[in-house]
Each structure stands twice: as structure tokens, then as C-alpha cells.
Chains A and B, each alone.
Chain A
């Protein structure tokens, strides 16, 4: 064995074993060293705290085992409405939230929170170049003209009314009313109902010229149905 070949050259081990004290160093105080050691030995043995650590770990594990299903249940029930009680001292808060499309010229009224909806067009360059997508979420929303404002109203709450125990926070969408247009029939116009404003009233009068030719039968019928329509017959003076 190669290790054995050079082991213990010329009895180094035996010579060092015989060495009783450190050469060139001041001799140490053996009595003082024993005093230190004895004081250390006299101290009571430290109790093994491992059992307590294991017990604590087991208790934590048990607690987790019990609570995890409960939390899971709570998480599943989050979709259902939860009634919350409110103290009566809280004041009534009414806030109006107006949803304004981006680029809308009209500023939000004072006291109304303005929520600007941004519609970002998806660019195909990102995918083509393999570049990373921006971190900001792209929200694509089409704003329905009918619902352009949402009023968030917190209903009044009676301080001493114990019956009211719901949060009473409701979101009431206020739909803008469509402008109703009157339905006008052709016969009503003929009857002289010109007080009605219709789109037809703004139209330019249509005039048809038939030089040297008489009216066709179809034109007569059409002219009779349209009072503002004029038919001019131009005939030669001769």
C-alpha cells in the first residue's frame, strides 16, 4: 500500500507521543484549566428540547390540516353574496362614476369620478418580431352608447334599524333614453299636418324638368302624393 510506505518516517509518531509539553511556549496552568473544566462539568445537562420541537411541529401540522379545508370552503363560497352589517354612524356616501370613452371631448362633471376606457389596438408586429408583449393589460371594450354612465349609490341606512342588515350598496345603471321619433304617415301630411317635424321637411324640394314633353302618368301620381313637389311645364311661347 503506497500510504504505508511513508507512514511514520523514522518513528515520528512515537517521538511526538513522548513529548510532554509544548516547546518554547510558557507552561499552562493545569490547575486553572481543571477548574474551568470542572465548573463546566458541574453545570446541569441541558435538557433535550428536540421533543418539544417535534411536538410544536406536530401541533402546527394538525392545525393546518384542520384549517385548510375550512379555507377551501370559504374560497368556494366567495361567489355567493355576503351580507355585511354596517354601523349606523357611517354617513351616506353617494358617488357617481361616469364612464367616458377615450378621446371624449366633454370633461367629467365636478364630483363625478371619471373612468376612461382605453381601447388599444393589438399590433401584429409584436408577434411577428417575437418581442415581448407589454406588461400592461390590454382592455378591449366596446362602449355601449345606451350605458354611458353608472351611478353607484349607497342607500341610506338607519342607525337604530336592526332589520336592515344588508350592505345596501347597489349599482344602478342609468340608461340614456332614446329620442323617440314620431311616426308620420303620408296621408297625415296630405291632410295638412305640417306642424309635425319630419326629416322629409328638411329635404330640398325635388324638381323635375321635362322640356317640351308632357307629364307622364306616373309623374302625376307621384306629384299628387308630395305637396311640395312642383312640376313645371315649360312650353314654348309660340
Chain B
């Protein structure tokens, strides 16, 4: 069934339509939550909380297109994750001077699969990871990230640069391993 139709039915209170919507979006939202919290149980809990909020306030949502629906639900999930991390007080980031921009090697990135990218991202420390997710994956600018995380813009930039540097190192290691495997 079309997602717009499902939303219409769900708004009327249909549990079947709600279940269909959940089945359609749950996997992707679980991956989104996992990128932030690095723990499957916590990610599941946060995903369920996010869906609960989505269904509770479904009357306020107006369906336009599938991408907008996914973006809306994803935003709810990201906010849930940030609230969870804020409660755990993991955003004790010391203000640092902005590091130099580090560019990725395109060739190394092309060789990485989605699973490997996800594994690399979750290896980052929580501060780096959150800034990286918000900036690179979700597309927020530093001003928005600073407001969401309660840090300064400079700190956000610095965290992103350091996250990039660490990822570059990890990717290089992966590339070396990949090259070794290929030669063997």
C-alpha cells in the first residue's frame, strides 16, 4: 500500500496501518539510532520511543511525499538519541581550537561498503561520532549542531575535524588491509 494511504488510515486509528508503517520504516530507523548510541538495545528502545511519539502526534503530520515522511521520522529519532546522550551527560566536550580540515581519499572511500562505513563511524568517540553524524550524514550546519548539543560552533568544527582525522586513519588501515588481502 502507498505510504500516503497508510498515513491516512493510521490517522483514523487503524492499528494495521500503523503496523505497516512501523514495518516499513523500523529497520532504517534502527540503523539511524545505532549510529548514535552504538548499542542495539538502546537503539531499539530509542526507536520505539520515537515511533511512539510519531504515532501519538500523527494528527499534526501532513503527508506530502515518502522522502518527507522518512525525514520527519528520522528527525524524531535523532532528537530521541540526542536527548538520551544528553541525559547520560556524554557531551562533556572541552572547547578546542579548530583543527585543520582533513580530506578523505576518494579511492579508499569507494572501496568501503555500507557495513564497513557504519562500523567505522561507531568506532569514533561519542563526541566525534555525534558531530560527524549530525554534520556529514544528517547535513546539519555547525550552528545547528552547536545548538543541538549545547556546545560552541568552534568546538563543533574542531570535533568534526578530529573525527575526520581519526576516520582517515581508520580508512587508511582498512585500505592497507584491503591491499594486503588483494595481493595475497
Binding site for B on A (CB under 8 A): 2-3, 5-10, 12-13, 15-26, 28, 30, 33-34, 36-38, 40-41, 45
Contacts and interface: CB of A to CB of B under 8 A. Distances in A.
Interface of A is mostly: helix
Contact of A13 (B30, B109, B137): B137
Nearest to B104: A9
Interface string B26-58: 111011001100001001100110011001100
A230 to B, nearest CB: 111
A37 B52 contact: yes
Contact of A22 (B22, B40, B110): B40
Contacts of A33: 26, 44, 47-48
A20 B28 contact: yes
Interface string B110-130: 100111011100000000000
A6 to B, nearest CB: 7
Contact of B40 (A7, A17, A28): A28
Contact of B31 (A12, A19, A45): A19
Given A6-B164, A38-B15, A41-B18, A13 B52 contact: no
B135 A7 contact: yes
Interface residues of B, number: 40
Contacts of B117: 12, 15-16
B52 A41 contact: yes
B172 to A, nearest CB: 15
Contacts of A10: 104, 106, 109-110
Q: Taking each of A3, A21, A25, which has the highest tally of chain B beta carbons within 10 Å of its own beta carbon?
A: A3
Contacts of B136: 6-9, 12-13
A34 B104 contact: no
A8 B103 CA distance: 12
B34 A22 contact: yes
B49 to A, nearest CB: 9
